A and B are shown apart, each in its own frame.
Chain A
């Protein structure tokens, strides 16, 4: 069974930092691009960042560019999101999600259970 388990969320003051982690199991982690997607209290879903399978390519939403850093450790089946200079509008549930297929940008599956960040 595929599992993605996020951790690291919490309450932080504006301007502060948090580091989210996502540990995965049940699939070949190093073969898939991975993503962070967040959902605000108002329910909107927002893609935050993506990292390629090797970690060589990273992409960010304009809203977090320059403040957030996505990374991965394939040896530890782990995905990370370093969040700096946090703002109130960053408050959300943060989900890690895998690309649906190794060579597809066509969707996210599966998703973790999410970790709550409150700024």
Chain B
């Protein structure tokens, strides 16, 4: 059982936006600004796309954005492209450990 709650699936047409939520507790998401998001394509290692709630690593398109309100973090993918179809995981630091969500499968219709 994952510590962070994500919807199992989300979808959108090319060009549309999709937002994925990630709900935790005061001990993790709500307790610090160390939320990160990962994109994973089948057979590949996870790739960091958002760190520290809203920062983008070099090379990640600005179509990806992150935010947080209380115990819920969100990832928004704007202007969906076919290559955005993947599994997305959130993660939060929780004091001395890290917790992940179970992942959200994003389908580009």
A contact residues vs B (CB 8 Å cutoff): 35, 37, 39, 43-47, 50, 59-62, 95, 100, 104-114
> Which chain B residues border A110 with CB–CB below 8 Å?
48
Is there contact, CB below 8 Å, between A105 and B48? no
> Which chain A residues border B103 with CB–CB below 8 Å?
43-45
Q: List 17 A-B contacts (CB under 8 A).
A: A39-B46, A44-B2, A44-B100, A45-B46, A45-B103, A47-B99, A50-B98, A60-B97, A62-B97, A95-B46, A105-B93, A105-B98, A106-B51, A107-B48, A107-B52, A108-B91, A113-B45
> Which chain A residues border B51 with CB–CB below 8 Å?
100, 104, 106-107, 109
B57: min CB distance to chain A, Å = 6
Q: A106-B34, A111-B45 are in contact. Are A47 and B87 (CB under 8 A)?
A: no
B30: min CB distance to chain A, Å = 15
> Which chain B residues border A104 with CB–CB below 8 Å?
34, 51-52
